[in-house]
A and B are shown apart, each in its own frame.
Chain A
């Protein structure tokens, strides 16, 4: 069974840093691209970042570019999101999502974790 478990969320002050983790099980993480998607309280979903299966390709939404860094350790089946210079508007539930990103497999998020909450206090 595919499972994704996010951790590392919490309450931080504006300008501080936080690192989120997403531990995968039930499938070989090394074979899949992954993404981070967030949802501010009472708001819609926003794609934040993506990373290719080998970690070479990374991509970011304009809203976090230069502040957030996505990485992965396939040997530990873990995805990371390093968040620096946090702002109040970064307050959200952060989901990791397995990402199909290929012509044959499709372009979409097929499995999601339950999310970890990040709250940035000003």
Chain B
């Protein structure tokens, strides 16, 4: 069973930088897991930010970037803004099959 891990929460100052990570309880995340990232504010549908590790979805500002850091996928927000305060979810594609697993999400607070 694939279990994805994320930090429960992060706090960042306005204008600051924060890096969220997405790992596996057993094993490493690599580009072949095709990690993607989603932003969700309360009461709204999720919005795609990053796919295939580091490709920004249409309309996503370049303040959001994706990468692999060590054995985890990472989402970095630079120049954090109040509007970035949201829950962030990573998703991994299991073995390239049509199966996806969400992480538990990271709540980002900007203050």
B contact residues vs A (CB 8 Å cutoff): 1, 34, 36, 38, 40, 45-48, 51-52, 55, 57-58, 87, 89, 91, 93, 96-105
- Which 4 interchain pairs have the tightest Cβ spacing? A108-B51, A107-B34, A108-B36, A112-B45
Return 16 A-B CB contacts under 8 Å, by A number. Answer: A44-B87, A44-B89, A44-B102, A44-B104, A44-B105, A46-B102, A50-B98, A57-B98, A101-B93, A101-B98, A107-B34, A108-B34, A109-B91, A110-B48, A110-B58, A115-B45
Q: Tell me whether B102 and A109 are in contact (CB under 8 A).
A: no
Given contacts A45-B38, A45-B40, A109-B36, contact A114 B100 (CB under 8 A): no
A30, CB-defined interface residue at 8 Å: no
- How many of chain A's residues have a CB under 8 angstroms from any CB in B? 26
Nearest opposing residue in chain B for A48, CB measure: B100
Q: Which of B55, B98, B102 contacts A45 (CB 8 A)?
A: B102
Q: Are A50 and B45 in contact (CB under 8 A)?
A: no
Main SS of the interface on chain A?
strand
Cβ–Cβ contact B100 & A35, under 8 A: yes
In contact, B52 and A106 (Cβ under 8 angstroms)? yes
Residues A107 and B52 in contact, CB atoms below 8 Å apart: yes
Instruction: Knowing A47-B91, A50-B98, A50-B100 are in contact, say whether A107-B47 is a contact too (CB < 8 A).
Output: no
The answer to whether A106 touches B98, judged by C-beta atoms less than 8 angstroms apart, is no
